[in-house]
Amino acid sequence: QVQLVQSGAEVKKPGASVKVSCKASGYSFTGYSIHWVRQALGQGLEWMGRINPNSGGTDSAQKFQGRVTVTRDTSINTAYMELTSLRSDDTAVYYCARAQSMTDPGEYFHHWGQGTLVTVSS
């Protein structure tokens, strides 16, 4: 069965960087894009970026002004989201999500990781 297992909780200081991993199993990793969505505590969902694991092509939300980088390592079926220059308002749960087959229309996420809490505090 499809599984997305994320790395554990992190505590970072303002100005630092964090890299969250998302290990995929149960399907062909290169056939489905991986997206990153975050949720500040008590707040709504916010899309951050995506990667095509086959080509390595990415898109990310301009809101993050180049602070977010999405990468992948196809040898270990893992996607990564790195966020730099952390601020207190980056404190949130970060989710990875797998989209449907890239040959199908739309973009929808049937499979989600368990979430990774990133706390930014001095």
Partner 1 sequence: DIVMTQSPLSLPVTPGEPASISCRSSQSLLQRNGYNYLDWYLQKPGQSPQLLIYLGSYRASGVPDRFSGSGSGTDFTLKISRVEAEDVGVYYCMQALQPPFAFGPGTKVDIK
The one-letter code for the residue type at 115 is G
Burial class (CB in 10 A: 0-12, 13-18, 19+), 59: middle
Establish if 25 lies at the interface with partner 1 (CB under 8 A).
Answer: no
Among 7, 12, 30, 47, binds partner 1 (CB under 8 A): 47
Rounded least distance, CB 98 to partner 1, Å: 11
Q: Tell me which residue has tokens 């894009």.
A: 33
> Which 68-107 residues touch partner 1, going by CB under 8 A?
95, 97, 100, 105-107
Q: Which of 43, 85 has the CB closer to partner 1?
A: 43
Rounded least distance, CB 72 to partner 1, Å: 17
Among 7, 23, 46, 91, binds partner 1 (CB under 8 A): 46
Q: Tell me which residue has tokens 């997305």.
A: 4
Report d(CA 107, CA 122) in Å as an integer.
37
Q: From the CB of residue 109, how many other CB atoms can be counted at a distance below 10 Å?
A: 17
Establish if 61 lies at the interface with partner 1 (CB under 8 A).
Answer: yes
